[in-house]
Amino acid sequence: MEAIRKITVALAGNPNSGKTTIFNNLTGSRQHVGNYAGVTIEKKEGECSHRGVDIRIVDLPGSYSLTAYSPEEVVARRFILEDRPDVVVCVIDASNLERNLYLAVQFMELEVPLVLNFNMMDISEARGDRLDVARLSETLGVPIVPTVGHRRQGMSALLDCVVEAGRKKKAGIVPTYSPDLEQALRLIQSRVNGNLKGQSLPSRWLAIKLLEKDPEFARQWNGSAVMEEAKLQSARLEDKLEESAETLLAQERYDFISRTCEAAVHRESPKETLSDKADALLTHRVYGIPIFLAAMFTVFWATFNLSSLPCEWIESGIGRLAATVSSFWPAGADSPLRSLLVDGIIGGVGSVIVFLPNVIVLFLAIGLLEDSGYMPRAAFIMDRLMHRIGLHGKSSIPLLLGFGCSVPAIMATRTLENRRDRLTTMLIAPLMSCGARLPIYALIIPAFFAVQWQAPLLWSIYLIGIVLAILSAKLLKSTLFKGAAAPFVMELPPYRIPRLRDTILHVWERCAMYLRKAGTVILTISILLWALTTFPQQESRALAQAELTEAAGLVEEPADSLSNSYAGRIGRFLEPVLRPMGFDWKIGTALLGAVAAKEVFVAQMGIVYAAGEDEAPLRQRLQQNYSPLVGFCIMLFCLISAPCMATVAVTWRESGSFYWALLQFAGLTVLAYILTTAVYQVGVRAGIGI
């Protein structure tokens, strides 16, 4: 027996067939999974070892077909064709067998060593379907491994099969089609055989692709005798059977699948499932939209209310920590190190960590929506509206994710096939108020507004973001991205009860990311900003005193050390620009920090107002210094203005152009400036909230 050491395995399959769950099980990694098509948008790699063989596993984005229609499908197809993995594992949702086998049949046409993985066997069994796996495997000439991904059932059998397939390198049977089609394929194939151009692809498969007029291969073979033959055959078929060659091929593949399944699959007559019942309510003509809005409101309500108590605990914990650290130094003594630790690090990072509970609740809610399968319903319900503003129903998935974080939201725009839709969605995604902006609202709202106004106010901030996003989308669609609308063709997967483990994993990852950010980016910036606010130092005696007087009111004279610091100088330099919005130079320095990451705004306010000995919470200080109107303006400006660096970077990468990222950054900042100024000026004149 030939010994092999290392094989490469591609995990391919329809969207939402559970490839990533299998991938996570096999490699022990923790890639994000969810219940809608297109969670995985880039190929991901992992490794494992089984019976002495090192297996490199590549998780490909979901594809319905090898015809490559959306950007993710292009990624998947390119990998299979160009990297030629040793084994292709086609993951199949066993509860949706026919449609899923369509891709498998195309792999059989391609004659690659193939293993079929019938995943989600539990759902199929629960529905009363009986699959004769042995018989199917025999008919197709391909090993089939049944698994239940989320219960990790069948993983070892799958690996056994993969190793075996890697050793044998044997493809399944090649499906044969109707005599008309076979004749056409034979004729094209005979021409292909004559001039393969060094391609290692099977000639029959090439013949099929050429007959289908696959754009990539048609371009490659353009003008050749082979292409002429393909055109001729395709015209002949069309004439005879009155259908285009690609339709005929698709039809024959589905017929092949039906024939295969007929003997081996016994299906209970479909009854109304729980999922159907849920849909009857959740996408109901009358209740559908109110339920959607109520769900969104509940998310924000919960984010704010469920987490208020733990937030207070953390806040007092940080206060105590600051006091303890302070007490290492004799009272009244002034030490730069103490100031760095207490004001810079604990003040800065601490004020961000305080909001961890809010972040947990928000991501828990988004995670539940994702895992249950509600996201595609949101797209379904919202499509008409989205269509009217020039977007696509599928845009609502990235936009909803945007409430969590703009970065995954912008990455999720890849599920949009149309480039204009994709860019528009990408550019407006930061207007969906992200989780990092939440600390700002969570700081400001209770500082200035009574309890009964807090939830509606938060809701209204989010709503303002949504309205602005709609208007911007309309503007972009009628100027830069004019053109015909993209079609809406979307699968609605059955609802699933979110599994605790996945949801907790999901939340944990987000929190870990938040904490990591607090420990790295925000820590660095906090120290930097602290340095900018502390140096150059004046006589140390005057410092604490001066700061207290400064904090008591909007003192203009720059006598104290804070306003004389580098940050103060920058802030004061910017102040004339910020004045029309009602902001002073302190807010200005915090806004600068917010460009790096939105939470830094809170951190910097913490540093600016850290009085050291005085333990009055930041909110009280804000209340003393600013009017509710200014508070509202801060939230408005932070909502709209300059997306954080990570967002700019991911927009740059995903759009493929620096200019789109620049447009997003500049456009949003200008919009924020104009709107905030307008609100403040009107507010001051009308005497609202001052």
- Choice between 71 and 344, CB closer to other proteins: 71
125 binds other proteins (CB under 8 A): no
15 binds other proteins (CB under 8 A): no
Among 98, 312, 556, 613, contact with other proteins (rule: CB under 8 A): 98
Closest CA to 522 of 409, 466, 600: 600
Among 329, 488, 566, 673, contact with other proteins (rule: CB under 8 A): 488
Rounded to a whole number of angstroms, the minimum distance from the CB of residue 470 to other proteins is 15
Kindly report the backbone phi and psi dihedral angles of residue 10, in degrees, each rounded to the nearest multiple of 5, phi listed first.
Answer: -100, 130
- Count of all residues that appear for the chain in the document: 690
Map the footprint of other proteins across residues 216-255, applying CB under 8 A.
239, 242-244, 246-247, 250-251, 254
DSSP 316-355: HHHHHHHHHHHTTSPTT---HHHIIIIIIIIHHHHHHHTT
Per CB under 8 A, which region of 41-49, 385-393, 460-468, 512-520 contacts other proteins?
Answer: 385-393
Q: Which residue has the tokens 């102040």?
A: 575
Q: Which residues of 604-634 are buried (b: 16+ CB within 10 A; e: fewer)?
A: bbbbbbbebeeeebbbebbbebbbbbbbbbb
262 binds other proteins (CB under 8 A): no
- State how far the Cα of 210 lies from the Cα of 188, in Å rounded to an integer: 8
- Strands of 53-59's sheet, edge to edge? 44-50, 53-59, 6-13, 87-93, 114-119, 144-146
483 binds other proteins (CB under 8 A): yes
Per CB under 8 A, which region of 138-146, 191-199, 299-307, 479-487 contacts other proteins?
Answer: 479-487
Among 8, 29, 67, 538, contact with other proteins (rule: CB under 8 A): 67
> Which residues, at least 6 apart from 374, have a Cβ–Cβ distance to it below 8 Å?
282, 295, 495
Per CB under 8 A, which region of 84-92, 375-383, 502-510, 608-616 contacts other proteins?
Answer: 375-383
498 binds other proteins (CB under 8 A): no
Rounded to a whole number of angstroms, the minimum distance from the CB of residue 463 to other proteins is 19
For residues 237 and 246, the answer to whether their CB atoms sit within 8 Å is: no
Rounded to a whole number of angstroms, the minimum distance from the CB of residue 99 to other proteins is 5
For residues 249 and 211, the answer to whether their CB atoms sit within 8 Å is: yes
Q: Which two tokens stand for residue 43?
A: 């190929």
- Choice between 66 and 429, CB closer to other proteins: 66
* Rounded (10°) angle between helices 451-478 and 419-428: 150
Number of amino acids touching other proteins (CB under 8 A): 50
94 binds other proteins (CB under 8 A): no
Kindly report the backbone phi and psi dihedral angles of residue 198, in degrees, each rounded to the nearest multiple of 5, phi listed first.
Answer: 70, 15
Rounded to a whole number of angstroms, the minimum distance from the CB of residue 646 to other proteins is 33
For residues 551 and 545, the answer to whether their CB atoms sit within 8 Å is: no
242, with CB counted inside 10 A (0-12, 13-18, 19+), is: exposed
Among 383, 421, 547, 560, contact with other proteins (rule: CB under 8 A): 383
Q: How far is CA 453 from CA 293, 302, 460, 609, in A?
A: 19, 15, 10, 26
Rounded to a whole number of angstroms, the minimum distance from the CB of residue 96 to other proteins is 5
Q: Which residues of 453-471 are buried (b: 16+ CB within 10 A; e: fewer)?
A: ebbebbbebbebbbebbbe
- Choice between 219 and 285, CB closer to other proteins: 285
For residues 430 and 643, the answer to whether their CB atoms sit within 8 Å is: yes
266 binds other proteins (CB under 8 A): no
Which residues sit opposite 280 in a β-bridge?
Answer: none
Closest CA to 109 of 22, 198, 177: 177
Rounded to a whole number of angstroms, the minimum distance from the CB of residue 275 to other proteins is 9
97 binds other proteins (CB under 8 A): yes
- State how far the Cα of 354 lies from the Cα of 47, in Å rounded to an integer: 38
Q: Which two tokens stand for residue 277?
A: 């019942």
Per CB under 8 A, which region of 43-51, 93-101, 623-631, 667-675 contacts other proteins?
Answer: 93-101
Q: Which residue has the tokens 């077909």?
A: 65
Rounded to a whole number of angstroms, the minimum distance from the CB of residue 103 to other proteins is 9
417 binds other proteins (CB under 8 A): yes
Rounded to a whole number of angstroms, the minimum distance from the CB of residue 283 to other proteins is 6
Rounded to a whole number of angstroms, the minimum distance from the CB of residue 465 to other proteins is 22
Among 270, 330, 536, 576, contact with other proteins (rule: CB under 8 A): 270
For residues 570 and 589, the answer to whether their CB atoms sit within 8 Å is: yes
62 binds other proteins (CB under 8 A): no
For residues 32 and 370, the answer to whether their CB atoms sit within 8 Å is: no
Rounded to a whole number of angstroms, the minimum distance from the CB of residue 65 to other proteins is 4
Q: Mask: binding to other proteins, 145-184, rule CB under 8 A, as x and -?
A: ----------------------------------------
Rounded to a whole number of angstroms, the minimum distance from the CB of residue 129 to other proteins is 9
- Choice between 78 and 99, CB closer to other proteins: 99
Q: Is 265 helix (H, G, I), strand (E, B) or coil?
A: strand
279 binds other proteins (CB under 8 A): yes
- Choice between 6 and 284, CB closer to other proteins: 284
- Choice between 397 and 679, CB closer to other proteins: 397
Rounded to a whole number of angstroms, the minimum distance from the CB of residue 289 to other proteins is 5
Per CB under 8 A, which region of 276-284, 400-408, 422-430, 559-567 contacts other proteins?
Answer: 276-284
Among 85, 348, 393, 628, contact with other proteins (rule: CB under 8 A): 393
Strands 265-266 and 87-93: unpaired
End-to-end CA distance of the chain: 84
Element containing residue 115 per DSSP (H, E): strand 114-119
Rounded to a whole number of angstroms, the minimum distance from the CB of residue 154 to other proteins is 22
Among 30, 51, 284, 516, contact with other proteins (rule: CB under 8 A): 284
For residues 504 and 363, the answer to whether their CB atoms sit within 8 Å is: no
Per CB under 8 A, which region of 64-72, 136-144, 331-339, 606-614 contacts other proteins?
Answer: 64-72
Handedness of CA 16, 115, 251, 265 (dihedral sign): negative
Per CB under 8 A, which region of 91-99, 140-148, 359-367, 682-690 contacts other proteins?
Answer: 91-99
- Choice between 315 and 383, CB closer to other proteins: 383
CB neighbourhood size of 562 (10 A): 23
Among 455, 492, 528, 574, contact with other proteins (rule: CB under 8 A): 492
Which residues bind to other proteins, rule: CB under 8 A?
64-65, 67, 69, 95-99, 102, 239, 242-244, 246-247, 250-251, 254, 267, 270, 276, 279-280, 283-286, 288-289, 380-381, 383-385, 387, 393, 417, 482-485, 487-494
